[in-house]
Amino acid sequence: MNLSRPNEALLGYLEYADVERNLSKLTIRDYEHYLHRFADWCESQKIQTLEKITLDDIRKYRVYLSEFVDVHGTVLSKTTQSYHVIALRSMFKWLTKRDIQVLSPEKIELPKAESRSMKFLRYEQVKRLMDKPDLHSPRGLRDRVLLEVLFSTGLRVSELVALDRDTIDLERREFGVIGKGRKHRVVFLSERSADWIKEYLATRTDDWKPLFIRYSGTKPGITEDGKKMRLTVRSVQRIVDLYCRRAHLPIKISPHGLRHSFATDLLVNGANLRDVQEMLGHKNIATTQIYTHVTQGQLREAHKKFHSEG
């Protein structure tokens, strides 16, 4: 394998990311997408070897990303552009360790992250959201359970859709998930969300493995395990968006916003930051500390409102 060639370097790096870095399948899929775009750009620029890449080439590639428009007329967000550069820098670090004479990865500066306000719901707003699904229909009951589980656990949406019904211990109200970096953690359910899951499963007449299934489209044969019936990440995003609109919430929330809401609710009610870190599956506590900026603001308002000398 000639690692100085873009496409071969890409394949070698992805194998390393899978076997040695143990990155999640989702992360590897994203890196593959980002690096293929870089390899295609190299081909368009007639760059046949990575050893010839200069800082000026990196600048041109960034301009290309900023001006990129896909077949649907969609441009790349600043965040997505950053992910492309992060993937490229990671590959160059790996190549350097393999003694391939490429541009020093330290010279590839990462873009400044966009400052975004964290979106989350207060508990009263979460309750409004939960009340919107129609519990008289299988789809509505599934959606209510889905919302309950998201808020009860703080799961990432990719972790949620991967859940199988036989991996959840409803008596102990816990289950295991493999999160980012293929890190295993135990996730706990509230008593209420466990009861909702029991009610939902009691209405299911199938033996399919996925906990959350779709109710539209073609059905697989009765001998199959129902893998094709599993809800997708995009489906869950649409479901959350639908009920946010029906609840007339003041902000547009995503499944990840419910994860933010879970963490914020815990901290506001006195949970330890380290415990929240474990529950969220964060590798670094610095990632969890972003929530303290939110809770500090709420605590300030509470102090002003309720303290006798406020």
Catalytic residues: 156, 180, 256, 259, 282, 291
CA angle 303, 274, 298 (to 5 degrees): 20
Q: Would you tell me how many other CB atoms lie within 10 Å of the CB of residue 140?
A: 15
Task: Give the integer Cα–Cα distance in Å for 11 and 30.
Answer: 13
The dihedral through the CA atoms of 146, 151, 152, 157 has a sign that is positive
Q: Please name the residue that has the structure tokens 């890409």.
A: 10
Q: Give the separation between CA 112 and CA 195, rounded to whole angstroms.
A: 44
Beta strands in the chain (DSSP E): 168-169, 174-178, 184-188
The values of phi and psi at residue 215, to 5°, are -120, 20
DSSP state of 99: T
**Cβ 243 vs Cβ 132: under 8 Å:** yes
C-alpha to C-alpha distance for 258 and 155, rounded to whole angstroms: 9
Beta bridge partners of 75: 69
Closest CA relative to residue 120, chosen from 165, 76, 151, 147: 151
Coil, strand or helix: which one is 2?
coil
